[in-house]
Amino acid sequence: MAKTSESGKKAGAKASKKKPAPRAQAKTRYLIALGSNRYRQGPPRRMIGRAIKALEKAGLDVKARSPVIATDPLGPGTRRYANAAIRAKSDLSPPELLTLCKKIEHKLGRRSGRRWGDRAIDLDLILWSGGCWSGEALTLPHPEFRKRGFVLDPLAAIAPRWRDPVTGLTVRHLRHRLRRNIPVDRRGNHP
């Protein structure tokens, strides 16, 4: 009968030098809003398509795309916007994805300027599957998304049951409340 060591291996048997394969990081789900109203780089609808292709090329796994809708500008912008949303998976953390979005915006012609002005492309992280996030340059959920039909309409087309971690309401409910002008309690659903 072979002797066994404390670890249960047979005496004289070589211990395996292979390390276990690293576990793949779980993919995180994101909802991203897209908007464009400047024609310098191409029509706004085409700019949204180019931005989605750039996100996919950078490794985002786009699971769903909303229809592109036309909306009036918010603030002093002069042209109508094309707005859409995507539901995607990524290994990137929220700050890493924000950095990627900013690089794509710059590559597609977005330049710093006045707030609420016309822009070639705008990529906003709205929600993520990790709940709430607060950092130096990013807050999730997006602080203003509950007040914006041009964000909620496309989101409701691709993720109507996604819950806002602050209010506990689904995207569909938030959209309904906005359309009916019912105030949303932003204090959260915590007792």
Residues forming the active site: 110, 119, 122, 124
Angle at the Cα of 95 from the Cα atoms of 91 and 101, rounded to 5 degrees: 85
With residues binned 3-state (H G I as helix, E B as strand, rest as coil), the percentages for the chain, rounded to 5, are 25, 20, 50
Q: Under a CB-based contact definition with an 8 Å cutoff, are residues 90 and 60 in contact? A: yes
DSSP string over 133-185: EE-SS-EES-TTGGG-HHHHHHHHHH-TTPBPTTT--BHHHHHHHHHHT----
The DSSP secondary-structure symbol of 120 reads S
